[in-house]
Structure 1
Amino acid sequence: MAWYLNRGLATEIDTGTSNKAIKLLFEPLGRTMIDDPYYLKVKQNICVKCGGDKLLNKFYVVPYEFRQYFPFRFKVRSSHDIVLICVDCRECITPAYNMKKKMFYLNAFGPLWKEYEENNQKHKISHEIVKARKSARALLTAKDKMPIEKRDDLERCIRQVCELDSDIELCDNILKDVLTMDSKVENPNYESAAEILVKNLLEGNLDIPRPEECKRSETCNCFLCHGDASKPGDIEHARLKGFVRSWRYHFVSTLNGQENFLPEGWSIQHKIQDYEDARSISRT
């Protein structure tokens, strides 16, 4: 109780007894799900594709590489698009998922996607560390046999990488430590392609392919139009809704008609909740 009272999220109520009670000054997040069949039903620990109960893994209907960059208010307390799937079934649907991800990336980056994918790596090889490791190896094996100028050059290379002063002797222990240095380092210029894609989506710079049955009208029930034409609401919400439903539609298509094991209440049209105040409450 004190936690809520100290943060101004509740007021104390006089119960007339020794029992304390408080009244919350905000709508609890879970209350919006109180009439949602999906969250009220008990979920079975079975694969949503084959119904098996062995080697189950958590599977993100909307790939996590995209979902992690959703605005906080769209993913908090939302487990509708996280299902269970067995290892074998995961292997079956992974190729189709990779193809769809590639399609979205090509849509976002165009013909530059292949070049971006090759050049924009999260980690890169540090040629300075590679050179320092070679220098350390040479000094450990033939330090006494090499010319002084060569030895000084190798030691200078190591000192630069390890940021060692010239008065510190490069003993064997230091050289051995240099040999264990990882030449793979973080790329300071790295920018996640998935983050760029989601940003383009929310800014309206990414088109979402429509299904063949789309009529582009208020009466259309496809995953993009359903409920949006008559109630456009927040533009960002609508764009994200289309993206999420696109992945749900794709996920169901990968089940090859085996939707009988999906949890009760799960559907392509299930609402994407917008917890507008979730961030401020959770971080107060």
Structure 2
Amino acid sequence: MPDSTKYPIVTAKTALIATAGIGLLCIFVRQRARILSLLSSYRNPLNKRQITVIDNLDECQRVVDTLKNHCQAYKVLGFDCEWVTVGGTRRPVALLQLSSSKGLCALFRLCNLRQIPQGLRDILEDDNVIKVGVCPQDDAQKLSLDYGVGVASTFDLRFLAALTNQPAAGLAKMAKSVLNVDLEKSWRTACSDWEAPALSEKQLRYAADDALVAVKIFEKLFDKYEQRPFWKLSSTQLVSAQEKLEPFLDMRFKDTFANQLVKMKTSGISKIIPPIGKKAKQKSVQTRSICTRAKALYDNCLLQAPDGDLLCTIDAKKAQWYVAQNLAATVATNPLTVRLNFEPSGRAVGDVGRYYQTPKENRCVVCGRDDALSRKNVVPREYRKYFPVIMKSHTSHDVLLLCTHCHQLSNIYDLRMRMKLAQKCDAPFVKSEKAAKYIELPEIKQVQSAARALLQIKNNIPAERRNKLMEILLNYFQQDEITAEILEEASNLHTTRNNENYCNHGEKVVEMYQNELGGLCVLEKMWRQHFLETMKPKYLPELWSVDHNADRLEIRAKEGRVEKEDLIVAGLDTAKLTETDEDIGKLA
């Protein structure tokens, strides 16, 4: 007879296997969409693309609404642009490609739309939607120059490749290594006519695949970066991506990668990543637009009135200048303190005065870093230089210290603010007819070039080419022959003319706020508030205020040290200030 004691063991094993099977089945049922999507993506994610071409505004809004709906679940879009180059000159972006994780490939024919509609502009400027690709910042810059839109939260896929120990290569190579997809990258298609009346099937696939592959590479690499088990993966959420990838958003891979690695190592954001290439070395980033200071900005030397009352802190060079000019005497050396020998025009009053008396720290006001610092003009100089003199003096309040990374990020945010001001004040900030001070005259330029060629290298020009150049000159001057005098005149022709529609962006914005939009203090406050909201500084100087200049001018008005016209330009209530002055006079 069989041993009956074995049956309970067999039964227990069977129950355990059955339980495990049921558990796996439950996981499959609950995550079947994700699992099937992963299997499909592994085969070829491009097979599920849904290409939609947008030629008109009505169709544009419908597709944008669908993209926004897809972004509710997964806030990432594949992003790319195509354009045409004629005679070495790039024409405005002709095609904008956006692809959602669900496979919708929206191809916006900007050459037909002639603008970026508000709905599309909103999704491009949305900070919460990450636009992924290879070198997406370059395409974003082209859109900014051509259509005045600031593309927010661009992300170069090569950062994520490096974070996951994948080759940080071009889009086609990453498509092969990450997705096992062969991406068609024919130069003939890439350089084809993207402004053609109708795009070919080959062009449509090429454009759509670039955007869709980008978002699929992001999905795969980000899942790997998170290192989560597959049953915890969810295509409906991207909670941690924005936070974890924040240091890389709107950053150029080539210019900032080494700097970001150093920052990540020191701050513990991520694991140490091996350098790219055998001989790759980490080196500090050098940018042409942002120059770091070789010495501290704040020396925190003290400037006193003749009676010893503290007026403000100043730098050592300014303190030494006062002494050298016999305008002050040194009364202490630690800290360096100089005392004026004449009565200043005003004394420190209220929080405005205390701000200038308070010592400042030499560190980034955003992140606290104390090296590689540069000056940041919170109210950009392109606007400030058109302010009246009284609002251009004592502007150190709006000069803050930022590290290179925070400075670059702040400049990106500032671009969006400039675009909004350009639209509000009808003051073009980008390439347009109004933005050019001079208009190039191609016909005159051709005549000038022909004359200079004949003057300088006549003997080295083939006969056929020389005859064509002479023909250009004969047609322009309507002469039977070209003399040496005509050649000299032609070589000195002016090839541009003044643009009567020219509009200086900064000057126009200042003029609009000065005359129609509430005064220059409103413009100042907008820029300061913009800096606070976008950069969220943690280490601002004590008593720094968005109303600083308005408060300073009110104090001056009460002391009778400001003209009424300046108060009007600033947008302050002159009637109230005048009434206050009269009351003070009566009391006196």
What TM-score bracket applies, with the shorter chain setting the length?
0.5 to 0.7
Match of 2:433 among 98, 101, 119: 119
> Equivalent residue of 1:195, what SS?
helix
Tell me what 1:171 maps to.
none
Distance 1:81 1:240 in 2: 14
* Deviation at residue 267 of structure 1 after TM alignment: 1.8
Shift of 1:253: 0.9
Aligned to 2:369: 52
Q: 1:269 aligns with which of 532, 540, 547?
A: 547
Q: Is the 8 A contact 1:135 1:154 kept in 2?
A: no
Structure 1: unaligned runs, 5 residues or longer: 1-21, 164-181, 207-237, 278-284
Q: Give the SS at the match of 1:261.
A: coil
1:193 shift after superposition: 2.1
Consecutive unaligned residues of structure 2, counting only runs of 5 or more, are: 1-340, 474-480, 554-560, 564-588
| CA positional deviation for 1:254 | 1.6
RMSD after superposition: 3.5
Quote the Cα distance in structure 2 between the aligned partners of 1:52 and 1:23: 40
Deviation at 1:53, TM superposition (A): 2.4
Equivalents in 2 of 1:72, 1:158: separation in Å?
47
**CA deviation map 1:5-56 (0-9, x unaligned):** xxxxxxxxxxxxxxxxx977xx62xx25465122112222221111112222
* TM-score, normalised via structure 1 length: 0.57
1:123 Cα offset (Å):
4.6
| 1:80 Cα deviation from its structure 2 partner | 0.7
Give the distance between the partners of 1:52 and 1:154, measured in 2 at CA: 68
Give the aligned length.
196
Higher Cα radius of gyration: 2
3-state SS in 1 of match to 2:397: coil
1:124/1:253 CA distance change after superposition, 3 Å:
same
The code of the aligned residue for 2:412 comes to: P
Equivalent in 518, 525, 549 of residue 245 of structure 1: 525
What one-letter code is carried by the residue in structure 2 that aligns with 1:241?
C
Partner of 1:6: none
Q: More relative contact order in 1 or in 2 (CA 8 Å, sep 6+)?
A: 1
Partner residue in 1 for 2:380? 63
* Partner Cα separation in structure 1 for residue 405 and residue 503 of structure 2: 33
CA distance in 1, matches of 2:504, 2:364: 31
> Structure 1 residues 55 and 126 mapped into 2: Cα distance closer, same or farther (>3 Å)?
farther
> Contact conserved, 1:56 with 1:85, CA < 8 A, in 2?
yes
Work out which of the residue numbers 78, 82, 92 in structure 1 matches 2:409: 92
Query: Residue 261 and residue 71 in structure 1: after superposition, are their counterparts in 2 closer, same or farther (change >3 A)?
Result: same
**TM-score w.r.t. length of structure 2:** 0.30
| Structure with greater helix percent | 2
Could you tell me which residue of structure 2 aligns to residue 228 of structure 1? none
**1:1-284 → structure 2 map (5 Å cutoff):** 28=345, 31-33=346-348, 36-109=353-426, 113=428, 117-120=431-434, 121-125=436-440, 127=442, 128-129=444-445, 131-143=447-459, 152-153=481-482, 155=484, 156-162=486-492, 187=498, 189=500, 190-204=502-516, 206=517, 239-256=519-536, 259-272=537-550, 273-274=552-553, 276=562
* Equivalent position SS for 2:400: strand
- 1:238-267 deviation digits (Å, cap 9, x = unpaired): 6222221121111111223xx331112212
**Relative to structure 1, is the Cα distance of residues 276 and 157 closer, same or farther in structure 2, using a 3 angstrom cutoff?**
farther
Partner SS state of residue 371, structure 2: coil
Q: State the identity as a percent.
A: 23
Q: Which amino acid aligns with 1:276?
A: V
- Quote the offset at 1:186 in angstroms: 8.2
